[in-house]
Amino acid sequence: QPVLTQPPSASGTPGQRVTISCSGTTSNIGRRYVYWYQQFPGRAPILLISLNNKRPSGVPDRFSGSKSGTSASLAISGLRSEDEADYYCAAWDDTLSDLVFGGGTRLTVL
């Protein structure tokens, strides 16, 4: 059972704005940075967002991250077909002393 909670699926049409939520506790998201990863089938994850809302070089500004309290969100604006992938949130957990992930959200572009 993943420590961070994400919806299993999300969908949108091209051009739409989609948000994916990630819920945690005061042991993880509440006091630590949140990271978001994108993963295509059979491939290694790709870092999309670090330190709650920072985009690494090369990540389009259509992707944005935010955090409030013990929850975080990933927003994707101007949805494109190539955004169809699995998305994972992650944060360090001070109680477990582990990095914990959400269960992942499969994004479908209709």
Partner 1 sequence: QVQLVQSGDEMKKPGASVIVSCKASGYTFTNYGIVWVRQAPGQGLEWVGWISTYNGNTNYAQKLQGRVTMTKDISARTVYMELRSLRSDDTAVYFCARDPDDSDAYEIWGHGTMVTVSS
What residues line the site for partner 1 (CB under 8 A)? 2, 33, 35, 37, 39, 44-47, 50-51, 56, 88, 90-92, 96-104
Nearest residue (CB) to partner 1, 24 versus 102 = 102
What's the CA gap between 107 and 76, in Å, rounded? 10
Which residues fall within 8 angstroms of residue 93, CB to CB, at 6 or more apart? 3, 27, 28, 32, 99, 100
In eight-state DSSP terms, residue 43 is S
Nearest residue (CB) to partner 1, 46 versus 75 = 46
Looking up tokens 């509440």 gives 30
Min CB(29)–partner 1 separation in Å: 12
Nearest residue (CB) to partner 1, 69 versus 98 = 98
Which residues fall within 8 angstroms of residue 99, CB to CB, at 6 or more apart? 90, 91, 92, 93
Min CB(11)–partner 1 separation in Å: 19
Min CB(59)–partner 1 separation in Å: 10
Min CB(101)–partner 1 separation in Å: 5
